[in-house]
A = this chain, B = another copy of it.
Amino acid sequence: MVDVAIIGHGVVGSGVAEIIINHNELISQKAKRQINLKYILDIRDFPDLPYSDKFIKDFDTILNDDDVRVVVETAGGATFAYDYVKACLLRGKSVVTSNKELVALKGAELLKIAQDKNINFLFEASVGGGIPVLRPIAQCLAANDLIEITGILNGTTNFILTKMIKENMQFDDALSMAQRLGYAERDPSADIDGHDAARKICILASLAFGKHIYPEQIKTDGIRGMLLSDVELASRMGYVVKLIGHSKVLGDKVSASVCPAVIPTGSVISNVEDVFNIIKVRGDAIGDVAFYGRGAGKLPTASAVVADVIDCVKHLAARKYLFWEDGDKDYVVDPDSVAYDYMIITSVANADALATLGCNTVEHNGSVAGIVEKTSKNDITTRLQKCGINDYRVFRVID
């Protein structure tokens, strides 16, 4: 029998507890050992739950109980969660987390401790909720050099953009609807300013390319205040606006960014709507592969956590191949200095100036858009300023 503890009985943590208790026979059979949920650490009381006897308030109870071999961290944040996870790993307990902030900030350090202790630190649920993506990437990696990752990584912003694209909703109305439906927090900044997607691209790129990328190294632009007229103009040109996390190998460095981008209609990514996520990975041998599904939600995320728990229990004395080195401050290139294709949208008064950049322009409703090819964003800024254009929006073209 293997004892398991859960830290944090929130949405995901309670889902994990329910699955472990209600499907105990099935998951124990899959893990080839009896799994026993022994403790749940939470500052709150839950007297009415059928498993209310498992709640504790003192972390040391978990830490000092050597029968607890696997700890699930679903408390969130990177302060207490970091202390708890690190202490558990140092004590030789495998840890499973869905906490993307923690992994994006401290992944390399925690993976190193797990390696030294020959235990597992798994976090499949930290990216893409229930979509299996980190393990398949590790598997692709076994016989491929991965070179690029592109993803719709945040369901809330994808929901908002889908409402703008399909129903011509204004940004604020779509955000309010997302909040009403429980897809967006009351303070939506982690989603709409791109920070959530940035943490996920950190984790994906760190794993795929082998070296930690930290959130502060990721150029992050969100979709706050996205103009419906820009979305409509992009549509007229055959593109949809999506918030894209992207990272690409450039020699021994990488570029990494989160930004609103335009995707040609008809590509697989362009049809990923509502709260769905997609993660596309390019390898030298395999070409493009992609993983699609709901990126969040209590049950999908909890089921991914439980799959990791099963894996930890099955491999108490063997490590899964999931590792990356620490990064360094020169590893990540400013994406605005890298040449991409960009769509520029500005006031129709600037149409002639925009045309001098060498792009065909399309006008709609007082705005004009054009696409410049293989130019850095820094270059575009300089050239637009020379033309006297200061009020414009730039969208990277991604296919």
Contacts and interface: CB of A to CB of B under 8 A. Distances in A.
Interface stretch (A53-61, A216-224, A290-298): A290-298
Interface string A130-161: 11100110011111100000000000000000
A143 B307 contact: yes
Given A268-B292, A271-B270, A306 B132 contact: no
Given A136-B132, A285-B302, A289-B131, A143 B19 contact: yes
Contacts of A130: 140, 283, 285-287, 289
A348 interface: no
Interface in A266-291: 266-268, 270-273, 276, 278, 280, 283, 285-291
B294 A286 contact: yes
Given A131-B289, A299-B285, A307 B23 contact: no
A261 interface: no
A310 interface: yes
A139 B123 CA distance: 14
B271 A300 contact: no
Given A136-B132, A271-B266, A288 B299 contact: no
A290 B293 contact: yes
A30 to B, nearest CB: 5
Contact of A30 (B142, B278, B306): B142
A164 interface: no
A321 interface: yes
A27 interface: yes
A300 B321 contact: no
A218 B290 CA distance: 28
A303 interface: yes
Nearest to A270: B271
A203 interface: no
Q: How many monomers of this protein are in the complex?
A: 2
A175 interface: no
A141 B31 CA distance: 12
Q: Bin the interface of chain A by size.
A: 35 or more
A139 B31 CA distance: 12
A304 interface: yes
Nearest to A318: B318
A341 to B, nearest CB: 20
A283 to B, nearest CB: 8
A223 B130 CA distance: 35
A105 B19 CA distance: 35
Interface in A291-330: 291-294, 297, 299-300, 302-304, 306-307, 310-311, 314, 318, 321
Nearest to A320: B314
A287 B292 contact: no
Nearest to A140: B132
Contacts of A30: 141-142, 321
Contact of A293 (B286, B294, B306, B314): B286
Given A286-B304, A290-B290, 20 more contacts: A23-B143, A30-B321, A130-B140, A136-B136, A142-B306, A142-B310, A143-B304, A144-B303, A268-B268, A285-B302, A286-B299, A286-B300, A287-B293, A287-B300, A288-B293, A288-B294, A290-B292, A291-B292, A292-B292, A314-B321
Interface of A: 19, 23, 27, 30, 124, 130-132, 135-136, 139-144, 266-268, 270-273, 276, 278, 280, 283, 285-294, 297, 299-300, 302-304, 306-307, 310-311, 314, 318, 321
